[in-house]
């Protein structure tokens, strides 16, 4: 099916994409596809063929219909690298397992170094190493009712800031646009939200200044809310809010916000 050129689309940096590779001792196949709005995949460049006798024995650079191969591995163009790194990082496997995963399919100059740099900066990956944990993970107790624990986070979309609130029990998502991400704006939005649905028992946020200021801490205290701070970019701790942010961005794109 992928040989029908009308199914191919041009690379668009704004669209999600997926790289699928498959290889055996006898053949290699690789597709970089965009994931379209309806969830279907449309291939960009592609390659699929049987390897020659020589190729089965040698690692060499070959060009297949716009896709460069290094032996069995796809040589990834610059523009895809950052996003593929993020994909590789999705499961927080740590350095050696992420490298092993990449080596099966991908290659670019300094791939190993890029993986090391990325993993180095990640606290969730750090927790999979056999070193003492710097920041303990929060083993969340499963919420059994709405308002028991609520995760909040900020996100930006097209230059505008949004406060995202997600309830860990119902996964109910509330999004409010703010002029700027200050403590007082956050407080104002939360007040409005409390007035409509009630005050939650616990709020989880990252430890950014707008959430750690005296003003915000006082507000939490006076509202009787237990406030739990987690490190930013710590998906295992505030993953719910990050998931909320992803859902939000996806819906905004779909709605052509
Ligand atoms: Zn990680």
pLDDT in tens, 182-241: 999 999 999 998 998 889 999 988 888 999 999 999 999 999 999 988 766 555 556 666
Q: Ligand 1 centre from 79 Cα, in Å?
A: 21
**pLDDT at residue 122 tops 50:** yes
Say what the pTM is: 0.44
Distance (angstroms) between ligand 1 centre and the Cα of 92 equals 4
3-state per-residue secondary structure call for 170-195: CCCEEEEEECCCCHHHHHHHHHHHHH
Angle at 142 between CA 138 and CA 145, to 5 degrees: 130
Average pLDDT score over the chain = 73
Site of tokens 């716009």:
66
Cα of 201 vs centre of ligand 1, distance in Å, is: 30
Task: Provide the pLDDT for residue 3.
Answer: 36
pLDDT for 126: 72
Point out the least confidently predicted range of 13-17, 35-39, 51-55.
51-55
What residue ranges define each of the domains in the chain, with the CATH number in brackets?
A: 5-126 (1.10.340.70), 150-254 (3.30.420.10)
**108 Cα–ligand 1 center, Å:** 20
Least reliable range by pLDDT among 36-45, 49-58, 136-145: 49-58
CA of 10 from ligand 1 middle (Å) equals: 31
What gap in Å lies between CA 112 and CA 3, rounded to an integer? 33
- Across the beta sheet with 61-64, the strand order is 61-64, 67-70, 73-75, 106-107
């Amino acid at each position: 099916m992928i040989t029908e050129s009308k199914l191919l689309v041009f690379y668009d940096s704004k669209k999600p994409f997926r790289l699928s590779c498959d290889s055996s001792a006898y053949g290699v196949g690789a597709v970089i596809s965009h994931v379209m709005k309806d969830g279907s995949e449309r291939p960009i460049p592609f390659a699929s063929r049987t390897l020659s006798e020589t190729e089965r024995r040698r690692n060499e650079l070959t060009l297949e219909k716009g896709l460069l191969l290094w032996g069995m591995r796809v040589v990834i163009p610059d523009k895809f690298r950052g996003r593929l790194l993020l994909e590789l990082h999705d499961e927080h496997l740590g350095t050696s397992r992420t490298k092993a995963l990449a080596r099966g399919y991908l290659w670019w100059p300094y791939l190993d170094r890029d993986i090391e740099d990325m993993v180095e900066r990640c606290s969730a990956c750090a927790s999979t190493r056999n070193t003492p944990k710097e920041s303990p993970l929060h083993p969340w107790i499963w919420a059994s009712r709405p308002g028991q624990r609520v995760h909040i986070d900020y996100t930006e979309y097209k230059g505008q800031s949004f406060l995202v609130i997600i309830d860990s029990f119902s996964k109910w998502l509330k999004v409010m646009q703010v002029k700027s991400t200050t403590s007082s704006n956050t407080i104002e939005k939360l007040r409005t939200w409390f007035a409509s649905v009630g005050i939650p028992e616990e709020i989880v946020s990252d430890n950014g200044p707008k959430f750690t200021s005296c003003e915000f801490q006082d507000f939490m205290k006076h509202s009787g809310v237990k406030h739990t701070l987690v490190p930013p970019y710590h998906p295992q701790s505030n993953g719910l809010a990050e998931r909320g942010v992803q859902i939000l961005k996806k819906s905004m794109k779909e709605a052509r916000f």
